[in-house]
Structure 1
Amino acid sequence: MRLAGRTAIVTGGASGFGEGIVRKFADEDASVVVMDRDGSRAEAVAASIGGSAAWIKADVTEASGFAGAVDLALSRFGGLHILINNAGVGHTPTPLEDVDAETFDRVMAVNTRSIYLGARAVVPLFKRQKGGAILNIASTGGVSPRPNLTWYNASKGWAITATQGMAVELAPFGIRVNAINPVAGETPLLKTFMGEDTPEVRAKFLSTIPLGRFSTPEDMGSAAAFLCSDEASMITGVALNVDGGRCI
């Protein structure tokens, strides 16, 4: 019950790593707002958890989406203490000069603009209450880039730098900001990163992970719960590799 009495917003909370974080936070006695563009899936995840979860269909690239999620957290649960910027998109392995502008803009909007919009929505509240935690889901790609994923890697490197800058600026207000860097995991994005899902491609990916397996939503949920709990009260500005050793 490390998160008892806390309320969190989890973007992209209806599937993949986001759903793993939502379920772990609920297990740790937090109240959770599942924010996702897939409203039906968000509703199903919240319903499966029960009264400690609410849902909202929202786009993380729009300020109105975050405003609605904050309003829902305050009206339903009476407060807000944690923001998890989990929503993200990638692009299939492509030479950097062949990625079209529309794909580039979408990657940057979802992976970087969303962090900016989330901060604008919650930081004033967190400053007033003199505390809060923000967790950005970055990637091992932001630390040890894979070829042909350059613009995705760049967006996650941005997320790591933003985390560090936010941590320094917000520390005097009692607000902690951290990130986690997942390695490729069993989520809907896995096929995107691999280009195709075949035993041969999976074997190639797994050969780069010393622990010999993909990450799971449960792995991310456990890391997120720790970093957002009082057990991590002296940790801010960290980008924690949850990667089975890939970045060693």
Structure 2
Amino acid sequence: MMERNGGVVVVTGGASGIGAATCELLGRRGSRVVVTDIDDVRGTAVAESLGGRGEYLHVDVTREQDIAAAIDTAIERFGRVDAVVNNAGRVGAWTYLQDITLEEWDATFAVLARSAFLGTKHAARVMREQGFGAIVNVSSVAALRTGFGPHPYGAAKAAILQLTRSAARELAPHGVRVNAVTPGGVATRIQGHGAGLEGDALDASIDGVRRGLRTFQPIPRAGEGTDIAEAIAYLVSDAASFVTGQNIVVDGGLTLGKGWPANYRAEAEAVGGHSG
């Protein structure tokens, strides 16, 4: 069982955004973290920021052998794997149904749903033998509501939630817990990537997303990677030892919808409406 501080964790997509925030938070709390990504520069920097507690591995999550090797490396180096966080992602192209190519659909599912399956599969392979472990799959509000992501993205993220539930049911008798975290509007590089931005334009887009999200959900600020990392840290710790098959939505109230604002009486009176 992984304590609140400590343990061995493998994180996919750990070079930036939610993944990097998760690696940094868990590292600060005493975990040994295997940071995996295809962005070697950023991934190495994240691992190095953890001092002796971080190690970077180049992992293409669409390749089963890469994910299997990451789990095996953690076992070889540290003797066990307490937790696996399946976080790697891509937005894909926003377009109409008739314009989505099969290649785009398959590529989105490969990075999102298939990689979560592979991470869960190979985590289960070692955790069943250990008799303990925690798996966290990162989904999205696009799995819960329409309009928050492209068609392939939303469908793949929804598949992750069902995989989480079915895997949790199978693995619970073996001491392995499987849960999901569903972020809302978070200011990360993935939105800029989805728009085809790179370099300085990509970095600037994050600030733009942060500003735009201030009025996008009931809590008037953008989500940050650390908000999601805190939920993940809870789920992989022994504080959540009786929690499995669940999905924690961390979205600033986004999925609640706009509806009446909290100060609707004052707003109604301001425009001459009735408040009662």
- The TM-score bracket by the shorter chain reads over 0.9
Name the counterpart of 1:244: 252
Name the counterpart of 2:127: 126
Unpaired runs of at least 5, structure 2: 198-204, 257-276
Contact persistence 2:210–2:221 (CA under 8 A): no
Name the counterpart of 1:62: 63
Q: Hey, what's the Cα distance between the residues in 2 that align with 1:75 and 1:201?
A: 40
Return the TM-score normalized by structure 1.
Answer: 0.92
Cα displacement (A) at 1:147:
6.2
Identity of paired residues, percent? 35
Instruction: Give SS of 1:89's match.
Output: coil
Q: Kindly provide the amino acid, as one letter, of the partner of residue 225 in structure 2.
A: P
Cα displacement (A) at 1:191:
2.7
224, 229, 244: which is aligned to 2:232? 224
Instruction: Give SS of 1:176's match.
Output: strand
Unpaired runs of at least 5, structure 1: none
Q: Hey, what's the Cα distance between the residues in 2 that align with 1:29 and 1:204?
A: 35
CA distance 1:235–1:194, change in 2 (3 Å): farther
Matches within 5 A, 1:27-42: 27-42=28-43
Contact persistence 2:164–2:179 (CA under 8 A): yes
CA distance 1:112–1:198, change in 2 (3 Å): closer
CA distance 1:173–1:200, change in 2 (3 Å): closer
Which digits, 9 at most, give the CA deviation of each residue in 1:177-198, with x for residues without a partner? 0001101211111235678959
Q: Kindly provide the amino acid, as one letter, of the partner of residue 35 in structure 1.
A: T
Q: Hey, what's the Cα distance between the residues in 1 that align with 2:241 and 2:149?
A: 38
Q: Hey, what's the Cα distance between the residues in 2 that align with 1:160 and 1:225?
A: 18
Matches within 5 A, 1:133-144: 133-144=134-145
Matches within 5 A, 1:70-85: 70-85=71-86
Return the TM-score normalized by structure 2.
Answer: 0.83
More deviation, 99-108/150-159: 99-108
CA distance 1:201–1:229, change in 2 (3 Å): closer
More deviation, 62-71/145-154: 145-154
Q: Kindly provide the amino acid, as one letter, of the partner of residue 173 in structure 1.
A: H
Cα displacement (A) at 1:113:
0.7
Name the counterpart of 2:173: 172
Q: Kindly provide the amino acid, as one letter, of the partner of residue 48 in structure 2.
A: A
Q: Hey, what's the Cα distance between the residues in 1 that align with 2:63 and 2:248?
A: 28
CA distance 1:122–1:207, change in 2 (3 Å): same
Matches within 5 A, 1:190-229: 190-192=191-193, 197=205, 206-229=214-237
CA distance 1:89–1:245, change in 2 (3 Å): same
Matches within 5 A, 1:105-124: 105-124=106-125
CA distance 1:113–1:177, change in 2 (3 Å): same
* Alignment RMSD (CA, Å): 2.2
Q: Kindly provide the amino acid, as one letter, of the partner of residue 247 in structure 2.
A: A
Instruction: Give SS of 2:116's match.
Output: helix
Between Structure 1 and Structure 2, whose CA radius of gyration is higher? 2
Contact persistence 1:164–1:238 (CA under 8 A): yes
CA distance 1:206–1:106, change in 2 (3 Å): farther
Which digits, 9 at most, give the CA deviation of each residue in 1:90-147, with x for residues without a partner? 1242122212222111100000111121122121211111111000000011011216
Q: Give aligned pairs, total.
A: 248
Instruction: Give SS of 2:52's match.
Output: coil
